[in-house]
């Protein structure tokens, strides 16, 4: 079992158990995110780009507008338009203006994006198994519920 105080090379005790829990969540999220970035980097994308591809795959052939993509992302990013520009340059997504309102642009995952996801699915599955698989389903359900309660307060 990991000792957060030792990991952070902290000599003094935490101010409270609440403070320790908060720092533990932040540290864990940072470690998980770092591992995810390392896992997808050899495949030429970032974890944020992977998340967008995953969202668009789930949306199906209808695609989503930029705002809807932004609301579904795991991590908020300041400029979704620029993110989609880079992904379009990589031929992972395509954007099309639709209807009379020229401002409304629908983004869809391309076949190349779906192929990249198919390649990454087993990579991400192995990473997920390594990071949380040892907890078992019952503990994972408890963790999911507890983290959901934390998010309700944010």
Q: Give pLDDT < 50 ranges for the chain.
A: none
Return the DSSP state at 13.
P
Q: HSE on the CB side for 3, CA within 13 Å?
A: 6
Q: What's the pLDDT at 97?
A: 86
pLDDT single digits (tens) 34-61? 999 999 999 999 999 999 999 999 999 9
Which domains, ranges and CATH numbers included, belong to the chain? 44-152 (1.10.10.10)
Q: What are phi and psi of 75, to 5 degrees?
A: -120, 130
pTM score over 0.75: yes
Rounded-to-integer distance, Cα 57 and Cα 51, Å: 10
């Amino acid at each position: 079992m990991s000792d957060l105080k030792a990991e952070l090379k902290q000599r003094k005790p935490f101010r409270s158990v609440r403070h320790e829990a908060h720092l533990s969540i932040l540290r864990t999220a940072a470690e998980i995110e770092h591992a995810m970035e390392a896992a997808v980097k050899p495949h030429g994308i970032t974890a944020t780009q992977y998340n967008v591809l995953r969202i668009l795959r789930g949306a199906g052939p209808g695609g989503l507008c930029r705002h809807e993509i932004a609301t579904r992302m795991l991590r908020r990013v300041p400029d979704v338009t620029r993110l989609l520009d880079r992904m379009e340059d990589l031929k992972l997504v395509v954007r099309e203006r639709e209807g009379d309102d020229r401002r409304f642009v629908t983004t869809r995952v391309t076949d190349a994006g779906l192929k990249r996801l198919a390649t990454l699915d087993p990579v991400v599955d192995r990473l997920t198994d390594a990071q949380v698989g040892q907890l078992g389903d019952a503990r994972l359900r408890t963790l999911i519920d507890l983290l959901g309660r934390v998010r309700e307060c944010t």
